[in-house]
């Protein structure tokens, strides 16, 4: 096996507007890690000169759709990939403007880390707050604030400290587990890949080193055992006449053969007979592994059920409070029923009450205006037709998240983080 | 650090999860099988996802009639060994039935015609989900693809109006006559696929390895000589040691000069490559947004 295979995967999200240097930074990370190919660069060069630009517009690498290229803006989430010998990276690059909150939320939903850029000259602005609040709401475990354009403030420690101080004070209101600051100049490469000589006062690591080494091993929940069943594997073949296993992806905790488990919602108890994979049975299964679990007893288990430990169960409930991000241009219809998808389970539900709308630039709770429209984030209460087996999103992102689907249009209309 | 997966293990777990979601959410899914490394990888992942049961999907091959002979041989052996059903959509048949017109001229290719054949096969066999090996790192329009990508009743993709996709909650709801394209290896790079093939010892067609072949130099790549290739004035048929980084219609898939005869050598070559794998695909060179335009109509 080659060295490159012994690497971990880090998913991070970026958000930003045209001017904060985000494209320059991503371009630099991709370029310096040799992830941009010559034909891609040539194509971007050609497009840039066609547009009459003097510089090579690296944003054209990520803005792939015709409309984005014509308008010069990122509309959708663009995924970019690069690798260093230490790690593989997936960037979910999202537009930063308030009208694209839903895209930021989408990009943030799978991220281990949020990279937020601040212009050293302007400091913490509304957009910085918005991105941080989204990172906090979506429980991204790590947040790195890059104070960019240090070259334009003479690499001043004082300018940097001011931004850090202001952001720390703002962030104290948020739920951020791991917060770091790095002074950089994306344009000149200071503290991006290697440490800058122009800022000897900064003692921390470069951005790339941070991305390569930040500890992501504890980002999953390894305590509370949750195994949502996706499907049942029954070969009915002469080699495996009575084989029956429950396929799924571990959503929390560590499962082992011999564990006493309970299947919900039925409440039947059994023991794990084996945890199977194509490469043979394994001794432990943890998130985010995809495995197949066999139980010692022949009990009725199907898609949407959840295998858990007997003494650690999620809460079955029909009344669910959650933070909702509305994703669709049609506002929610009054008294309408929506399909709720939670892990592998699906039930119908009705939005009973909007408790408040949240201003995602200031955290202000608005209890006067409760009209929901696209990109709004609100605390709501919903009633489901059948109990869901939920954890709080804070405790487990896999079993604490839901989406709402409009039964008429089949569109995904909302995302929810269970409180 | 004990409870962490290596990146390929994590990508594999994600792909297996997606394949199992397809099985659970759709009635009649198929794997779009081109005989290329990505669809072979998908097929391998499907084998792992449902083991010890058989792959619960048929393979759908859209056959342009302009194949590398090695591909067809490989396809038939794989189908045989897996015990899966093979559906062939024939572009030649679409032409014979007057569904499409063969392109004329020196740049003629059947690449565009595949869309009609594919959509006809989807309709005829009532396929509600076609699993593809598309990856987001391949091409800029593909970078915007969802794992679960909706197609309307005309098979069209509407990139500006895609469903948001959050966490790993996939929404495969649709009306009758519509279908989905699902891309389990969305997050893999070309390098990931090659490393995975090496790691898992997956069999792939011989044309991925260096071999001697009659070729013609065109637009900076070596097009394989075949009965379907129109030789232009001034072009010369040469014998070169080449291999192919992607595998498509033989008339548009350019090879690169290479001595890589083992997977390890191929991986080393990919790591050092300075051009994308699709850099040798004439179908992508037709315009800046050629892929997006084809995908909107229902292309792979």
Evaluate whether residue A90 is within a structural domain: yes
* The domain boundary residue, chosen from A283, A309, A335: A309
Instruction: Let me know: does A13 contact A107? Beta carbons within 8 Å.
Output: yes
Among the partner-chain residues B24, B159, B168, the one whose CB lies closest to the CB of A231 is B24
Tell me the CA distances in angstroms from B281 to A254, B242, B249, B260, one per residue in order. 46, 15, 10, 20
Whether residue A412 and residue B171 make contact (CB cut-off 8 A), yes or no, is yes
Tokens for A268?
């039947």
**DSSP string covering A390-402:** E--TTT-TTTSEE
Are residues A301 and A401 located together in one domain of the fold? no
Q: Is A194 on the interface with B (CB under 8 A)?
A: no
Tokens for A218?
């504890």
Confidence of residue A73 (pLDDT cuts 50, 70, 90): low
Whether residue B52 and residue A240 make contact (CB cut-off 8 A), yes or no, is yes
Q: Tell me the domain boundaries of chain B.
A: 7-193+288-297, 204-285
A267-289: buried (b, 16+ CB within 10 Å) or exposed (e) per residue?
eeebebebbbbbeeeeeebbbbb
Tokens for A131?
């991105």
A411: exposed, middle or buried (Cβ count in 10 Å: 0-12, 13-18, 19+)? buried
**Average pLDDT in the A408-416 region?**
95
Output the 3-class SS for B42-61: HHHHHHHHHCCCCCCCEEEE
Query: Which residues are paired to A380 by β-bridges?
Result: A322, A354
Q: How many angstroms separate the first and last alpha carbons of chain A?
A: 44
Nearest to A126 by CA among A170, A168, A183: A170
Q: How many angstroms separate the first and last alpha carbons of chain B?
A: 40
For A264, the domain range is 226-309
Are residues A327 and A304 located together in one domain of the fold? no
Are residues A196 and A267 located together in one domain of the fold? no
The 3-state DSSP class for residue A346 equals strand
Tell me what pLDDT residue B102 has. 82
pLDDT in tens, chain B (300 residues): 478 899 999 999 999 999 999 999 999 999 999 989 999 999 999 999 999 999 999 999 998 888 888 889 999 999 999 999 999 998 888 888 888 888 877 667 777 888 888 999 999 999 999 999 999 988 777 888 899 999 999 989 988 788 999 999 999 999 999 999 999 999 999 899 999 999 999 999 999 999 999 999 887 788 888 888 888 888 899 999 999 888 877 887 888 899 999 999 998 888 887 677 766 666 666 666 777 778 787 777
CATH number at residue A258: 2.40.30.10
**Average pLDDT in the A329-354 region?**
93
Are residues A255 and A302 located together in one domain of the fold? yes
Tell me what pLDDT residue B142 has. 83
Among the partner-chain residues B53, B159, B292, the one whose CB lies closest to the CB of A233 is B53
Tell me the CA distances in angstroms from A201 to A145, A158, A208, one per residue in order. 18, 10, 19
Residue A22 has pLDDT above 90, yes or no: no
Among the partner-chain residues B20, B169, B198, the one whose CB lies closest to the CB of A247 is B20
Among the partner-chain residues B8, B167, B267, the one whose CB lies closest to the CB of A109 is B167
Are residues A269 and A163 located together in one domain of the fold? no
- Best probe of the B interface among A49, A88, A221, by most B CBs < 10 A, is A88
Tell me what pLDDT residue A1 has. 36
Whether residue A233 and residue B52 make contact (CB cut-off 8 A), yes or no, is yes
Minimum distance, in Å, between the CA of residue A31 and any CA atom of chain B: 12
Residue A3 has pLDDT above 60, yes or no: no
Tell me what pLDDT residue A270 has. 97
Per residue in A232-258, pLDDT (tens digit) is 999 999 999 999 999 999 999 999 999
Whether residue B187 and residue A81 make contact (CB cut-off 8 A), yes or no, is yes
- Best probe of the B interface among A9, A100, A279, by most B CBs < 10 A, is A9
The three-point CA angle A180-A185-A188 to 5° equals 145
CATH number at residue A122: 3.40.50.300
Q: Which residues of B touch A110 (CB under 8 A)?
A: 166-168
Owner of token pair 């970026």: A14
Are residues A350 and A413 located together in one domain of the fold? yes
Owner of token pair 């794997």: B31
Are residues A365 and A325 located together in one domain of the fold? yes
Evaluate whether residue A219 is within a structural domain: no
Peptide bond into A133 cis (omega under 30): no
Residue A40 has pLDDT above 80, yes or no: no
Number of domains in chain A: 3
Peptide bond into B52 cis (omega under 30): yes
Minimum distance, in Å, between the CA of residue B52 and any CA atom of chain A: 6
Q: Is A412 on the interface with B (CB under 8 A)?
A: yes
Evaluate whether residue A220 is within a structural domain: no
Evaluate whether residue A111 is within a structural domain: yes
Q: Which CATH class is domain B7-193+288-297?
A: alpha beta
- Which residue of B lies nearest to A60 if distances are taken between CA atoms? B140
The 3-state DSSP class for residue A358 equals strand
Q: Which of residues 305-364 of A touch B (CB under 8 A)?
A: 327, 339, 341-342, 344
Among the partner-chain residues A5, A105, A411, the one whose CB lies closest to the CB of B8 is A5
Whether residue B144 and residue A76 make contact (CB cut-off 8 A), yes or no, is yes
Whether residue A76 and residue B159 make contact (CB cut-off 8 A), yes or no, is yes
Q: Is A40 on the interface with B (CB under 8 A)?
A: yes
Are residues A112 and A261 located together in one domain of the fold? no
Rounded to whole angstroms, the Cα distance separating B18 from B23 reads 9
């Amino acid at each position: 096996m080659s060295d490159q295979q012994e690497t971990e995967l880090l998913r991070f999200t970026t958000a930003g507007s045209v001017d904060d240097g985000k494209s320059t930074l991503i371009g630099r990370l991709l370029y310096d890690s040799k992830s941009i190919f010559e034909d891609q660069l040539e194509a971007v060069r050609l497009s840039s000169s066609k547009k009459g630009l003097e510089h090579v517009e690296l944003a054209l690498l990520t803005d792939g759709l015709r409309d984005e290229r014509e308008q010069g803006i990122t509309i959708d989430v663009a995924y970019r990939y690069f690798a260093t010998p230490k790690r593989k990276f997936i960037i979910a690059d999202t537009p930063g403007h308030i009208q694209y909150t839903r895209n930021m939320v989408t990009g943030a939903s799978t991220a281990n880390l949020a990279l937020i850029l601040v212009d050293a000259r302007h400091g913490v602005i509304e957009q910085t707050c918005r991105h941080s609040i989204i990172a906090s709401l979506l429980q991204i475990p790590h947040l790195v604030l890059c104070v960019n354009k240090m070259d334009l403030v003479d690499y001043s420690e004082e300018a940097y400290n001011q931004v850090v101080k202001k952001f720390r004070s703002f962030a104290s209101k948020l739920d951020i587990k791991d917060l770091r600051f790095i002074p950089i100049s994306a344009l000149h490469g200071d503290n991006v890949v290697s440490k800058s000589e122009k800022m000897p006062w900064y003692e921390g690591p470069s951005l790339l080193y941070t991305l390569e080494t930040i500890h992501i091993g504890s980002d999953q929940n390894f305590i509370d055992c949750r195994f949502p069943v996706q499907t049942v594997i029954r070969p009915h073949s002469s080699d495996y006449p009575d084989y029956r296993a429950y396929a799924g992806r571990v959503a929390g905790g560590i499962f082992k053969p011999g564990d006493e488990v309970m299947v919900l919602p039925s409440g039947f108890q059994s023991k794990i007979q084996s945890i199977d994979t194509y490469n043979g049975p394994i001794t432990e299964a943890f998130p985010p592994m995809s495995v197949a679990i066999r139980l010692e007893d022949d009990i009725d288990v199907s898609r949407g059920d959840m295998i858990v430990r007997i003494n650690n169960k999620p809460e079955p409930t029909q009344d669910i409070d959650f933070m909702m991000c509305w994703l669709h241009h049609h506002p929610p219809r009054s008294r309408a029923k929506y399909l709720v998808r939670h892990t592998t389970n699906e039930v119908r539900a009705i939005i009973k009450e909007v408790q408040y709308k949240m201003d995602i630039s200031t955290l202000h709770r608005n209890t006067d205006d409760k009209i929901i429209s696209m990109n709004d984030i609100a605390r709501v209460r919903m009633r489901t037709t059948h109990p869901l087996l939920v954890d709080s999103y804070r405790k487990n992102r896999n079993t604490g998240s839901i989406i709402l689907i409009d039964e008429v249009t089949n569109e995904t209309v909302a995302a929810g983080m269970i409180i | 650090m004990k409870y962490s997966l290596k990146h390929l293990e994590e990508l594999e777990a994600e792909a297996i999860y997606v394949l199992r979601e397809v099985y659970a959410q759709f009635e009649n899914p198929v794997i779009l099988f081109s005989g290329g490394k990505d669809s072979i990888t998908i097929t391998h992942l499907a084998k792992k996802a449902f083991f010890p049961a058989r792959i619960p999907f048929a393979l759908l091959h859209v056959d342009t009639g302009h194949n590398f002979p090695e591909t067809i041989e490989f396809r038939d052996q794989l189908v045989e060994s897996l015990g899966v059903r093979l559906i062939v959509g024939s572009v030649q048949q679409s032409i014979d039935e007057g569904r499409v017109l063969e392109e004329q001229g020196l740049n003629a290719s059947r690449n565009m015609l595949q869309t009609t054949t594919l959509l006809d096969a989807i309709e005829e066999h009532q396929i509600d989900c076609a699993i593809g090996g598309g990856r987001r790192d391949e091409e800029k329009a593909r970078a915007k693809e969802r794992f679960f990508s909706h197609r309307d009743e005309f098979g069209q993709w509407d990139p500006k109006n895609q469903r948001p996709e959050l966490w790993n909650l996939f929404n495969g709801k649709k009306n009758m006559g519509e279908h989905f394209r699902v891309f389990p290896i969305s997050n893999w790079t070309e390098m990931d696929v090659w490393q995975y093939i090496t790691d898992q010892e997956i069999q792939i067609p011989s044309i991925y390895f260096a071999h001697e072949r009659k070729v013609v130099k065109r637009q900076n790549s070596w097009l394989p000589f075949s009965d379907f290739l129109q030789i232009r004035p001034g072009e010369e048929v040469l014998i070169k040691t080449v291999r192919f980084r992607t595998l498509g219609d033989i008339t548009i898939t350019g090879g690169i000069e290479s001595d890589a005869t083992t997977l390890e050598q191929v991986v080393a070559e990919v790591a050092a490559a300075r051009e994308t794998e699709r850099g040798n695909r004439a179908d992508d060179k037709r315009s800046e947004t050629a892929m997006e335009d084809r995908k909107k109509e229902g292309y792979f």
